[in-house]
Structures are given as C-alpha cells and as structure tokens.
Structure 1
Amino acid sequence: MITMKDVIREGHPTLRQVAKEVKLPPTEEEKNTLKEMLEFVINSQDPEIAAKYQLRPGIGIAAPQINVSKRMIAIHVTDDQENLYSYALFNPKIISHSVEMCYLTSGEGCLSVDRDVPGYVPRYAKVTVKGTTLNGEEVKLRLKGLIAIVFQHEIDHLNGVMFYDHINDQDPFLEPKHAKPIDR
C-alpha cells in the first residue's frame, strides 16, 4: 500500500526527470504499482482511511511522485455533473488540445508540494488523451474543464514539469489570455 511516506517532495531529482515509456505489455510489478497508485488516490478521498493512514486528499498521482520514473498516472475525480473519472493509465499522451485555455480560480495543489503556491495555472480547456489501461485496452479520452486540468497536471509530472512552472512569475494572478475561469 502506498502512503504519504512514499510520495517524494519537491526538490527530489526524480520529479524533474522525463519518465520512461512503459514497454507494453507491462510487467506484473508495473501493473501492481499502477493499481496501488489508483488505490492510494481513492483511499486519500475516504475521510476514515485518510485519517488512519495520514493521507492528504488527492485526485491524481503520477509514478514519478512515488520515485518511479515511468509513464504511469492514476486519476480519481468527479466533474461538476458528478460523473466519475477513474483511470489508471500506462503511457498517457495528449494527442490534441483546444486553443481555448482555462484555469482553476483556487489555483492548483500537488501531493509533492507541501506549501501553498498561489497563482493561476493556465491549462488547455479541452484535451484528448490516449493511454493504455491496466487491462491492456487502449483508450482515447476527450476531456474538458477540471478533468482536462487534472490529466494535464499528472502528464506534466511525466515530463518533469511542476504545476507552478506555469504560473506567471511577475504577476501570479494575471488572468491567462483567452482563458475560462473554473471554480472548484
């Protein structure tokens, strides 16, 4: 079981590396790691389990955050219509995106960042992501709004990018051009 002790923090070199592709089919170890990542995210949202294991609530995690430099992400989040997006993917890749941008008005947080980093993080309003599930099925997901932001945040981790790299240094609360604000 993955716990907060397994989550590495900003400053750790693995967080700045470009993660390696997972050769498909994945090994049993890779499958187990990805399953555990999804369980961790789900457990972190359960108040009882989170309290018992001192988990910080999260909606996504990338393998580099547990010091595994491989292209794997797990996401468990609902959109504003209460539709659940629960995915554990190998080699997720953004294959297309909108011109329109968006950002969370509350800013973004990260399980690997223990401090509050204020500012707007510009993201694409819509993305299409391709990846491979634990069952070996290739999926193509068309995502928008919060869900698109979560996938972009986690895929950034696979490329050694932290969310605050996108924040405007001079003016953190400068509204990104042509971007739609999203309240969450």
Structure 2
Amino acid sequence: MKKEAIITLPNPHLRQKSQRVHVVSDETRQLIKDMTDASIDWENSRPHEISAALAAVQIDRLERVVIVRADFEDKDNQEFIPLINPEIVKYEGEITYDYEGCLSVKDFYGKVPRYSKIRVKAINIDGDEIRIKANGFLARVLQHEIDHCNGIVFVDHIRDDHQAFYRLNDEGELDPLDYERYVKDNADLWD
C-alpha cells in the first residue's frame, strides 16, 4: 500500500469511531501490513520526518488497530508494533504541551496538551492481551493514535493558543504560524 491511501482532513471518516476487532484474522494481519507499508512510503517521501504511528482509520478502515514505531530514533529501523483494540486504562503524571504532527493533517504541526504518563491495554497480533506503561513521547504517541480510534484529531485539542500551529521549513525546523489566519484558512479541519 502506498502513501496515497492515507486519508486527510476534512475526510469525514477521520471523525468517526472505529469498531473493535473481535478476532485477529488474516485480514487483520493484512491490514497491519498495509498500514506499515503506507507509513513507510509516506516517511520515504519526507526528508525530515518519521512516521511514528498510524491508526487504521487513516487508511480508511474503521477498525481499532494502530501501529507504533519500535524505535523512534532510528529511521532505518522500519519495524512497527501493532496494537489491536488499544484502550487507555489510566492517565498519570502531569499535562505537558509538545509538538505533534499527523499524516492525516497535511503539512501542519500543533502544540498539544497530553498526559505525561498513561497505562494502555491492547491485544497483540497473536490475540494475547498486553499492558503497556508509557511515558514521555511514547505516551503522547499512544494518546494521539487512540484518539484517532475515537474520531478525534490532534487539532481538536488546540484552542485559542496564539503559539499553537507550526509548519516545517526546508531545514526541518518548525516555524510558528499566525493563529487567526491558520484557523480562518483551515476551518474545514474542525468540521
């Protein structure tokens, strides 16, 4: 599967809740492969970005499946860990603000509030329940992807913050955007 399969706002499917997976089947495994292929193809088209994770809804499949990169630091390691029916069972720590991007929100980043620690339960590709204690960047990534399963996109967490939106420049640095102009010019992102 190629990066063109990744849907972007204002596609209304990104605002729908995904359905639970009842049986981990060959179809589920193929979905995970398709998600991984689309993520890697997207990443290969971007000199300064990695694909940290992807939810099934982002390739227009309303199933509660996410993949999370095994190593955020090594772009050459293209292994992803699948999580089926991921659910946050506990929020911990403090709320911190940091930059987030999304393969389904073209070319923009935002400064998003998230809990610094969470606990997640999910099913792995073998159908076994797993539990994860996550903090820092991994906690942020998991909250972002589980939001996708619930029809929420990161821009939904940003309100009235005049230093909230950014664009990646040619050097790979984030440049702030004018909040009012961004919101006005991109009103369809909140529809």
* TM-score normalised by L of structure 1: 0.77
Give the distance between the partners of 1:143 and 1:152, measured in 2 at CA: 10
Matches within 5 A, 1:7-156: 7-23=6-22, 25-42=23-40, 44-45=42-43, 50-51=44-45, 57-78=50-71, 86-104=80-98, 107-117=99-109, 119-156=110-147
Structure (1/2) with the larger strand percentage: 2
Give the distance between the partners of 2:153 and 2:60, measured in 1 at CA: 15
Residues 17 and 151, structure 2, Cα contact 8 Å, conserved in 1: yes
Residues 101 and 123, structure 1, Cα contact 8 Å, conserved in 2: yes
Residues 129 and 141, structure 1, Cα contact 8 Å, conserved in 2: yes
What is the CA-CA distance between 1:103 and the residue it aligns to?
Answer: 2.4
Structure with higher RCO (Cα < 8 A, 6+ apart): 1
How much identity, in percent, do the aligned residues show?
Answer: 33
Structure 1 segments unaligned to the other structure (5+ residues): 174-184
Residues 91 and 117, structure 2, Cα contact 8 Å, conserved in 1: yes
After superposing on structure 2, the runs of 4+ consecutive aligned residues of structure 1 that deviate more than 4 Å are: 42-45
RMSD: 2.5
Alignment-derived partner of residue 182 in structure 2: none
Give the distance between the partners of 2:93 and 2:50, measured in 1 at CA: 31
What is the CA-CA distance between 1:35 and the residue it aligns to?
Answer: 2.9
Residues 66 and 82, structure 2, Cα contact 8 Å, conserved in 1: yes
Structure 1 residues 113-154: Cα deviation after superposition (integer angstroms, max 9, x where no partner): 11324x420001001111011111211000000010001111
Instruction: For residue 90 of structure 2, give the secondary structure of its aligned residue in structure 1.
Output: strand
Structure 1 residues 7-65: Cα deviation after superposition (integer angstroms, max 9, x where no partner): 01101111000111111x223112210133234435655xxxx25x99x7411000000
Structure 2 segments unaligned to the other structure (5+ residues): 165-191
2:167 pairs with 1:169: no
Q: Which deviates more from structure 2 when the two are superposed, residues 84-93 or residues 29-38?
A: 84-93
Residues 3 and 42, structure 2, Cα contact 8 Å, conserved in 1: no
